[in-house]
């Protein structure tokens, strides 16, 4: 059974951070700084919450050294309170109970290699020639196609669909309703209409990747779509065929990435971003939310597009001015030519 409470000294040792206060103080969970009760621990990372520190009722807070003098309760001190909070949350997070073995209602194909420690939940359907590693979990109602490999300690939530010839690494998390390996959008036009292009590649998901609910990753047209180690994908993302996403890149929800685009390592992509096809984005690029990427990016940095929110009246005026830019530019060019020619009339 999961432990539900920890002493402050146990938490401090887990975080490898110094404790200022009562070692035996018992902590039963996490809470926000303004709403925490006497058996909760909180943290401050954003300066806007500093005003709540003096009056907090939390049993302890995780803070930076600069805030220690203002703290009126027990404190765990670290240079990165948000990272410490992220690690501590692992101790209190809900862990779903799973049973080893294959549920009687699951359907298992031929020539499968399923580890004895793996868990196959009710009504899962596993195709032929599937490999499932040690301690992997396949949730209720999942469908796994033929020739799929799933690495050890991977957790697949209920109702995930994994098409044929997909390779999934170790410690991967895939949330409900995700679809891995569906056909890419490949069509060719003739005089009568559109012809479907069979998608012959697969999908490779490397170790420690997390894939959000409702996210879809298309299989490659010829070569594989490739999601590299440590990538974190939010909910409802669309990844086109033959896309390559570099190690430890994070992508927020509702982003769409068209086919054959390569995204580098350690990139950060904001929600609602649209990325065109056949582009290359280098390492360490950050795209703010709702960015529209229509060209390759060959230099690291932060990129944005579009306009921020305005009142409708202000937006309408801006839209009119935007349509007038070509006229303004033409008039400006004519004026510059006249000035360069010495025409002062």
Catalytic residue list: 241
Three-state DSSP at 218 gives strand
Q: b vs e for 294-323, b when ≥16 Cβ sit within 10 Å of the residue's Cβ?
A: eeebeeeeebeeeeeeeeeeeeeeeeeeee
C-alpha Rg value of the chain to the nearest Å: 26
Structure tokens given for 81:
């309170």
Angstrom distance (rounded) from CA 129 to CA 148 = 7
Asked if residues 252 and 196 have their Cβ atoms less than 8 Å apart, the reply is: no
β-pairing verdict for 274-275 and 256-257: parallel
Asked if residues 253 and 212 have their Cβ atoms less than 8 Å apart, the reply is: yes
Contacts of 256 (CB under 8 A, 6+ apart): 237, 238, 240, 273, 274, 275
Q: b vs e for 183-212, b when ≥16 Cβ sit within 10 Å of the residue's Cβ?
A: ebbbeeeeeeeeeeeebebbbbbbbbbbbb
Half-sphere exposure in the Cβ direction for 67 (13 Å, CA): 27
The closest of 65, 55, 59 to 34, measured between CA atoms, is 55
């Amino acid at each position: 059974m999961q432990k539900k409470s920890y002493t402050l000294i146990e938490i401090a040792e887990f975080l490898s951070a110094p404790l200022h206060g009562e070692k035996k103080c018992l902590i039963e969970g996490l809470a926000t700084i303004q709403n925490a009760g006497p058996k909760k621990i909180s943290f401050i990372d954003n300066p806007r919450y500093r005003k709540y520190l003096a009056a907090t009722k939390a049993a302890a807070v995780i803070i930076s050294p600069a805030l220690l003098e203002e703290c009126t309760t027990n404190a765990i001190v670290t240079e990165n309170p948000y990272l410490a909070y992220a690690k501590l949350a692992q101790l209190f997070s809900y862990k779903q109970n799973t049973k080893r073995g294959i549920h009687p209602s699951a359907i298992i194909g031929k020539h499968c290699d399923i580890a004895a420690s793996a868990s196959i939940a009710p009504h899962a359907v596993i195709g032929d020639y599937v490999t499932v590693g040690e301690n992997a979990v396949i949730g209720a109602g999942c469908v796994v196609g033929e020739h799929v490999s799933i690495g050890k300690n991977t957790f697949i939530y209920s109702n995930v669909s994994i098409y044929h010839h997909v390779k999934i690494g170790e410690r991967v998390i895939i949330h409900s309703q995700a679809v891995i390996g569906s056909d890419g959008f490949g069509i060719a036009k003739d005089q009568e209409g559109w012809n479907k292009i069979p998608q012959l590649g697969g999908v490779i998901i490397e170790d420690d990747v997390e894939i959000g609910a409702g996210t879809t990753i298309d299989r490659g047209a010829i070569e594989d779509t490739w999601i590299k180690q440590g990538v974190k994908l939010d909910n409802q993302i669309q990844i086109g065929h033959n896309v390559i996403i570099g190690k430890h890149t994070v992508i927020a929800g509702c982003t769409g990435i068209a086919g054959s685009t390569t995204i580098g390592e350690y990139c950060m992509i904001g929600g609602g971003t649209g990325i065109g096809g056949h582009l290359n984005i280098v390492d360490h690029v950050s795209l703010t939310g709702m960015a529209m990427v229509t060209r390759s990016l060959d230099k690291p940095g932060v990129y944005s597009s579009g306009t921020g929110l305005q009142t409708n009246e202000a937006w309408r005026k801006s839209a009119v001015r935007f349509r007038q830019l070509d006229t303004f530019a033409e008039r400006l060019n004519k004026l510059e030519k006249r000035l360069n020619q010495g025409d002062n009339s």
